[in-house]
């Protein structure tokens, strides 16, 4: 008897064919799982997509959940017997390219030049930085932070890293420290790039005190979770003119209300959580590669890759 698998979300014809070729599987496609009734769900063993407690309660045979996202901190409630895997690694290079784009944009003050073009102003701005030789701190050395540091190092930057524990220091990282020692590096950094998971221990990590430790005219980048930066403190520090720029693809709250002061804070550049978008072509294919690989492994009785520790959230 084949194993019943639910595949959620929208998919291309090519991807649907790949999922249909999963070994010994009865594959059911469903854009929105809430539309499935109890009878359709009661025999499901493998599930690809986001789940809720109410949905899991309808799947008594469920034993494996595969996320399309890399973030997994919202699933601590999952029962112990259900294995959870994420799409770790699928987004790293794409998000790192976004980070490089915003780094160079801020260093060269491109938004201000674009604004000058709108107003037909011929102004030569000062305080233009070089990427080569700059000091960059990657706070979070998972797939995203590592990919960014590797690319930045290849362009001539001096790269440093922050990791929960010291292990596996890449050759392109000059120094690897834990969060406990991060403050010693902050005053030396030209760029501080956050790619942290949304766990409790990093919530509010960059408050006014820590933002003040950063070098004057340094650049802050955040592509991890918005709550790792205290929004009100960031607005205050930007109004005080301490940082050159803050480039945020994630923020707290999300989505940002139209009347929120972060929209108009000086030298704050916002994108609506798109750097790792699953629907971006290159990311879509990479995510499907991970999902299909893991579903195949589980169907063959093997362990999937990137199993999430539900207590840690990654």
The tens digit of pLDDT for each residue in 254-293 reads: 999 999 999 999 999 999 999 987 666 678 889 999 999 9
Domain assignment present for 310: no
Domain assignment present for 284: yes
Residues 23 and 123 in one domain: no
| Helix (H) / strand (E) containing 7 | strand 3-8
Residues 284 and 157 in one domain: no
- The answer, yes or no, to whether the previous bond of 178 is cis (omega within 30 of 0) is no
Tell me if 81 sits within 8 A of 100, measured CB to CB. Answer: no
Whether this prediction's pTM lies above 0.85 is answered by: yes
Domain assignment present for 308: no
Residues 96 and 224 in one domain: yes
Residues 190 and 210 in one domain: yes
Residues 84 and 100 in one domain: no
Domain assignment present for 305: no
User: Rounded distance, CA 103 to CA 247, Å?
Assistant: 8
CATH of the domain at 98: 3.40.50.720
| Degrees, nearest 5: CA angle 206-75-293 | 105
Give me the number of domains the chain comprises.
2
Collapsing DSSP states into helix, strand and coil, what is residue 263? Answer: helix
Domain assignment present for 120: yes
Within 10 angstroms of residue 48's Cβ, the number of other Cβ atoms is 25
User: Rounded distance, CA 67 to CA 72, Å?
Assistant: 8
User: What percent of the chain shows pLDDT beyond 70?
Assistant: 99
Residues 242 and 107 in one domain: yes
H runs (alpha helix) in the chain: 13-20, 38-41, 53-57, 92-107, 110-118, 143-154, 182-185, 208-213, 231-239, 281-299
Query: What is the pLDDT tens value at each position of the chain, 314 positions in all?
Result: 899 999 999 999 999 999 999 999 999 999 988 888 888 899 999 999 999 999 999 999 999 999 998 888 889 999 999 999 999 888 999 999 999 999 999 999 999 999 999 999 999 999 999 999 999 999 999 999 999 999 999 999 999 999 999 988 999 999 999 999 999 999 999 999 999 988 888 999 999 999 999 999 999 999 999 999 999 999 999 999 999 999 999 999 999 999 999 999 999 999 999 998 766 667 888 999 999 999 999 999 999 999 999 888 77
Residues 287 and 193 in one domain: no
Residues 79 and 48 in one domain: yes
Residues 41 and 65 in one domain: yes
Per residue in 299-311, pLDDT (tens digit) is 999 999 999 998 8
- Domain of residue 9: give its range: 3-90+280-299
Residues 6+ apart with CB under 8 A from 64: 45, 46, 47, 82, 83, 84, 85, 298, 304
Provide the CA 253 distance to its chain's centre, in angstroms.
16
Residues 68 and 103 in one domain: no
| Helix (H) / strand (E) containing 219 | strand 219-222
Residues 45 and 150 in one domain: no
Residues 146 and 239 in one domain: yes
């Amino acid at each position: 008897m084949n194993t019943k698998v639910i595949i959620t979300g929208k998919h291309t014809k090519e991807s649907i064919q790949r999922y249909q070729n999963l070994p010994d599987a009865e594959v059911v496609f469903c854009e929105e799982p809430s539309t499935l009734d109890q009878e359709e769900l009661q025999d499901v063993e493998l599930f690809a997509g986001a789940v809720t407690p109410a949905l899991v309660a309808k799947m008594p045979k469920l034993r494996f959940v595969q996320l399309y996202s890399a973030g997994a901190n919202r699933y601590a409630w999952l029962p112990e017997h259900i294995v959870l895997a994420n799409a770790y690694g699928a987004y790293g290079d794409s998000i790192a390219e976004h980070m490089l784009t915003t780094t160079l944009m801020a260093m060269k003050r491109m938004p201000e030049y674009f604004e000058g073009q709108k107003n037909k102003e011929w102004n030569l701005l000062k305080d233009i930085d070089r990427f080569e030789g700059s000091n960059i701190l990657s706070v979070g050395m998972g797939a995203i932070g590592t990919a960014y540091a590797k690319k930045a190092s290849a362009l001539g930057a001096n790269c440093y890293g922050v990791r929960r524990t010291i292990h596996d220091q890449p050759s392109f990282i000059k120094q690897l420290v834990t969060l406990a020692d991060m403050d010693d590096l902050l005053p030396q950094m030209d760029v501080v790039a956050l790619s942290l998971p949304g766990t409790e221990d990093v919530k509010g990590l960059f408050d006014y005190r820590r933002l003040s430790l950063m070098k004057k005219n340094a650049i802050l980048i955040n592509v991890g979770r918005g709550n790792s930066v205290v929004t009100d403190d960031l607005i205050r520090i930007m109004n005080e003119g301490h940082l050159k720029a803050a480039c945020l693809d994630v923020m707290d709250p999300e989505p940002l209300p139209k009347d929120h002061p972060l929209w108009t804070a000086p030298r704050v550049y916002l994108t609506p959580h798109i750097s790792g978008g699953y629907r971006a072509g290159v990311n879509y294919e990479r995510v499907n590669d991970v999902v299909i690989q893991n579903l195949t492994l589980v169907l063959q009785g093997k362990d999937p890759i990137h199993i999430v520790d539900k207590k840690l959230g990654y």
